[in-house]
Amino acid sequence: MNSVYSPSYFVSDNRIYQILGFGAQLTDFFDKFKQLREEDQDFWRRIAERIWLTDTFFYNVVLDYKYEDSFAFTRNSSIQNFGFQIQGLELYLLCTCLDAIANKFAHHKPLDYEAWLTAKNHDRNDERQQRDDSIRKLLSEFDKEHLHTDTGFLKANKKVFELYKKSYGGLGQNFRKLFYELPQALKKVLLDTYLIVESSSAPWSSESVAQDWSQKENDNRLRAITDYLWEFRRNQFTHGLEVNPSSSQWLSYRNQNGKQIWVLCRNEYEPWLIRTVIVTLCQKDLGYDRGDVFFERYRIYKYRQSTFRQVCYDLDWNRSWIPKFIQILANQTNSETLQAFHHNPLSTFDIESISTLVRDQLLEENSQYEQSLKSWLEAYLRETQRLNEQISQFNAQYPSGSRLEDRKQAARVFLAQLTNSLAYKTYVDGKQTEIFIDNIPIILFDHFTKVG
């Protein structure tokens, strides 16, 4: 059945620009975008949809998941494990985007195994000759009599299949070729970020691995990176039940040859790194040429975006958990949550992300609005730290494991007093909190087109 061209309208033009247009002026971006063929416009819309899906799922679902009743008084390891699993899914979805882009840009579309074996297309004479020569050389290494045995035949067939996967006709070759044609500045970011080593055991020292890694030729290092993304992120996710997070810590997998590979992603959040590649490739298709300044600004932008999002989560969590927990304390049937409360201290307000935002100076000094925001956040930190001290005093007076009914009654009285305090009403549950959350897109977008 022939495929029918079907334009994609799930993502608005503004959304496409927000996802793929960093560093470009809005009008210029769409002037270039509309010069593309209709099919190509739709292709990039679909890429934007896929990235939008990861945003929606990775950020919004995790936020919703936080507020199930059983987690209303404390965010336990189940929340962290959920985010841990989501990272693997996000990377997989982004790598499928790279796969689609690779096939879009490919000079030749990939061949399946049968088509590669029987290829007679005159446009691929050189490839056919290379295939035939390679197979003859490969088979010459086998004893002719041994080839007629079941074991010999299977071994030879496996070797031919491995040859196919390494050839231009292999499905992964366009994926790998895509990375070889990236701008030099972005290739340098990839080479400086990843560490990859073949080893039967976990590396003891990333420093020693980094030294060995830096001495390898750039093409070999880039090949190792693309092998990891293709074999592990793109393929193994679909064929196994194990979901791995980003490689911010050493992770291992077995490659197609059965060798154990260890991967570490240094200094960068891996999904953003892959997004950078996707955004760069889209803008390359539009005629933009991006260099060092662009990638540094995009890195800062994504880091700010992540930190602001986490601040929003924490501000929302801080103003939501006490009212929900008061309801739980009054609900005698919610035994699971009350038993959890019996064995755990009362939660404190989360302020780590806000501390990071202020400490790392992620608020622009030349922005009057952001400086006002910084002053408010500093006051928020002071007041919530005082509230946390009161919660710590409650936990010391009524430690986990105390008689449940006494602890419940004390918690009702304590939380009622806490929520009626001026600090809580002004900062935790105040209008300014809501205004800040609503203005996050404005804060971030103000620097969207500034690439230096």
SS (H, E, C) 78-115: HHHHHHHHHHHHHHHHHHHHHHHHHHHHCCCCCCCHHH
Asked if the model's pLDDT at residue 11 lies above 70, the reply is no
Statement: residue 37 has pLDDT above 90? yes
pLDDT band for position 246 (cuts 50, 70, 90):
low
Sign of CA dihedral 379, 384, 386, 387: positive
Query: Which of 20-29, 336-345, 399-408 shows the lowest mean pLDDT across its residues?
Result: 336-345
- In angstroms, the CA 154 to CA 389 distance is 69
- pLDDT given at position 67: 41
> Which residues make beta-bridge pairs with 227?
none
Question: pTM for the whole thing?
Answer: 0.75
pLDDT in the model for residue 447:
62
Q: Is the pLDDT of residue 237 over 70?
A: yes
Helix axes 270-285, 292-330, angle to 10 degrees: 130
Q: What pLDDT was estimated at residue 382? A: 95
Residues 6+ apart with CB under 8 A from 161: 113
Instruction: Give the pLDDT of residue 396.
Output: 96
Which of 223, 225, 224, 131 has the alpha carbon at shortest distance from 169? Answer: 131
| pLDDT at 123 exceeding the cut of 80 | no
Question: What's at 427, amino acid-wise?
Answer: Y
pLDDT at residue 58, rounded to an integer: 66
Note the pLDDT tens digit of each residue in 424-445. Answer: 999 999 888 888 777 777 776 6
User: Would the pLDDT of 71 be above 50?
Assistant: no
Rounded to an integer, the average pLDDT of 88-113 is: 81
Mean pLDDT calculated for residue range 18-35: 93
User: How does the average pLDDT of the chain come out, rounded?
Assistant: 80
User: Would you state the pLDDT for residue 423?
Assistant: 93
* Reported confidence tier of residue 254, pLDDT bands at 50, 70, 90: confident
Q: For 370, how many CA atoms within 13 A lie in the half-sphere containing its CB?
A: 19
- Secondary structure (3-state) at 194: strand
Other Cβ atoms within 10 Å of 7 Cβ, number: 10
Tell me the average pLDDT across 380-400. Answer: 95
CA distance 426 to 350: 17
Q: Please report, for the chain, the start and end positions of each structural domain, with discontinuous segments joined by +.
A: 13-109+175-289, 113-170, 293-445
Q: Percent of the chain scored above 70 by pLDDT?
A: 80
pLDDT value of residue 217: 93
Q: Residue 194 above 70 pLDDT?
A: yes
Contacts (Cβ under 8 Å, ≥6 apart) of 239: none
d(CA 110, CA 1): 20
Q: Band the pLDDT of 205: cuts 50, 70, 90.
A: confident
In this predicted structure, what is the pLDDT of residue 12?
Answer: 80
Q: Would you state the pLDDT for residue 321?
A: 87
Q: Express each pLDDT in 412-424 by its tens digit.
A: 999 999 999 999 9
Q: Picking from 23-27, 30-34, 181-185, 360-364, which range would have the lowest pLDDT averaged per residue?
A: 360-364
pLDDT on residue 280: 95
Question: DSSP of 348-399, one letter per residue?
Answer: ----HHHHHHHHTT-S-TT-HHHHHHHHHHHHHHHHHHHHHHHHHHHHHHS-
Query: Whose CA is closest to 88, among 240, 300, 255?
Result: 240
Sheet holding 251-254, edge to edge: 194-198, 260-265, 251-254
- pLDDT for residue 145: 63
Give the model's pLDDT for residue 353.
Answer: 87
Radius of gyration (Cα) for the chain, nearest Å? 27
Assess whether pLDDT exceeds 70 at residue 247.
Answer: no
- Confidence at residue 436, expressed as pLDDT on a 0 to 100 scale: 78
Q: Report DSSP letters for 224-272, one per residue.
A: HHHHIIIIIIIIIHHH-S-----TTS-EEEE-TTS-EEEEEE-SS-HHH
- Cα 249 to chain centroid distance, Å, stands at 14
Residue of higher predicted confidence among 168 and 248: 248
**pLDDT(329) > 90:** no
DSSP label of 447: T
The pLDDT assigned to 104 comes to 86
Q: With pLDDT > 90 as the criterion, what percentage of the chain qualifies? A: 29
Which carries the bigger pLDDT value, residue 65 or residue 331?
Answer: 331
**Contact between 297 and 452 (Cβ < 8 Å):** yes
Q: Summarize pLDDT for 46-68 with one digit per residue, the tens.
A: 999 999 888 777 665 544 444 44
